[in-house]
Amino acid sequence: MRLSRRLSIAITALLAAGACAAVPAAPAPGNEPPGLTATTAETGLPRAPEQEAVAFEHADLHFRVDPAQRRIDGDAALTFRALRPLSRLVVDLDRNYAIAAVDVDGQALPTGAWSNPQGRMSVSLPQPLAAGARTTLRIRYGGAPHVATRAPWDGGFVWSRAPTGETWVASAIQGEGCDLLWPCIDHPQGEPRRVDLHVSVPAPLVAVGNGVATGMDEQDGWRTYHWRARDPTTYAIAINVGPYELLADEYRSRFGNTIPLRFWYLRGNAAKARALFAEFPKLLEFFEASIGPYPFGDEKMGVVETPYLGMEHQTVNAYGNDYKLTEFGYDWLLQHEFAHEWFGNQMTNADWDDMWLHEGFGSYMQPLYLQWLRGDREYDAWLLNQRKTLANKVPIVSGHAMTEDAVYNRETGPGLDIYYKGSLLLHTLRQLIGDQAFFAATRQLVYGTATPRPGNFRPRYASTRDFIDAVNAATGRDYGWFFDVYVYSAALPELLATRDATGLTLQWGAPGGKPFPMPLQVRVDGRDIDLPMADGRGRIELSPHALYTIDPHSRVLRALPYIDAYQADAAARQQAAAAAKAAEDKPAE
């Protein structure tokens, strides 16, 4: 089951008891599509040579969503510019959809000109395409989309009912990719430059989309909503249909622009929605002051209530946290998904192997926001909760191309560590190099410039190497040793502390004997002493009865035996409880 191996959102019940606003309705009997092929079930597989040979300029997507039949009909016109001569185009599309027609630049193609046996669709062009030339591939298709058994961990469509009884439909496709919904290039680097999205739904339902609303038409009992977005991440293009009402306002940014604020909520939730909507300006103030301009200020900061927990759908983030606040007095899910507008949508990982740049930064924004909102105690408390989850079995970056499943798989991949180890190493880096260098490097990573202003940057791809280079440039020093240990190694560094008659000797032991000149603080009888640890060693002279505390401000991520013991005990108790439950449920012989 996907739930046992995939984690598609950042904070689990370890940090907050998130729950969906409504339980998704079960698929109609006999209406489930066949199983996905291995190609469709994966996202981030290596692109076909033909996919690498094109620039994806425009996707004009029409969807007719029929809740009664639990069916969608799609009409996708995809415009590509050839980077080198081509004789065919290749896109990804779930082969469970029936393809009604295919044409290229208005010329209908015979069925023999295209094939889609495993979900990677190949289309032979009527005439070869020269480098620099453009062509538009149009595919009309339809059928029952893959149903998500528990979105967002299991990708697909959610066919549900709002608490007031109306149809409530949403897509969540990060785990399996954009080919569950539309013919795309299912890879992080497959983003189209522009998307026009047209969604037809039975009146009076509302269809909410990415980007800017460009109108709505109504005819014969159906409404068609029109949206336009630029540079959306492939899995961010979303279907959201329901009996929505709208809260709207504007935010005047410190950068001089005005940002539309939009929240589509379910009828009956007005009071709770207004309270959540009041958090929008605070989030913008924090992120713009800490990181830089909201990347999509010319479109909107948008949120839509969904029948599943959440997802970072660019400019229309999915929200299903049922308006619950943490003990810290804020909505963690709203804040985390909003963080992905910077770390995921503006800056997109070049490969799934770099996914920690999305989830590690996205997870670090929670304690950082709390530090700004409430102070150091709550910052430290959130980091401690993250520290308890680390597995440290697999490096968070392998150094080679990965699929989404290989990264999120907690049995064989880094799993949750891309969230929480990523967050904690960022905390350690910030303590090591200071706020000025840390945030300068972060801005360079996100925007590709140290001085972002609205209009002087575009969404970009980035890798772990790009962040290392940004850190080195911001500090004027080589911090490769830091990333070698925390990013490219599985185990955490160990600190050996030995006290003798005259003092305390400290020595780092890094995985594989790697250099690790991490400075330390030691508190001796209430006074903090800085140790450079330049060669991985340090010593402090102590009087016989002196009391000391190593790393009193918890600045350095390192192996902690008491955390390991806690994790082992918790796992043993969980296994014992599961065995007892199985024995209790076993029928008598």
Angstrom distance (rounded) from CA 48 to CA 75: 23
Say whether 383 sits in a helix, a strand or coil: helix
Which element (helix H / strand E) includes 338?
A: helix 332-339
Angstrom distance (rounded) from CA 70 to CA 244: 19
Q: Determine which one of 419, 420, 447, 486 is catalytic.
A: 419
Which residue ranges make up the annotated binding site for Zn(2+)?
Answer: 336, 340, 359
Does the annotation mark 419 as catalytic?
A: yes
Angstrom distance (rounded) from CA 60 to CA 227: 10
Q: Determine which one of 50, 305, 312, 337 is catalytic.
A: 337
Angstrom distance (rounded) from CA 459 to CA 52: 19
Say whether 60 sits in a helix, a strand or coil: strand
Helix 417-433 vs helix 376-387: angle between axes, to the nearest 10 degrees? 140
CB 93 within 8 A of CB 163: no
Long-range contacts of 129-132 (CB under 8 A, 24+ apart): 129/82, 129/85, 129/86, 129/87, 130/82, 130/85, 131/82, 131/83, 131/84, 131/85, 132/81, 132/82
CB 301 within 8 A of CB 251: yes
| Ramachandran region, residue 105 (left: φ > 0; alpha: ψ -120 to 50; beta: rest) | left
Neighbouring residues of 538: CB distance < 8 A, sequence distance ≥ 6: 505, 506, 507, 520, 531, 532
Amino acid at 111: T
Please list the active-site residues. 337, 419
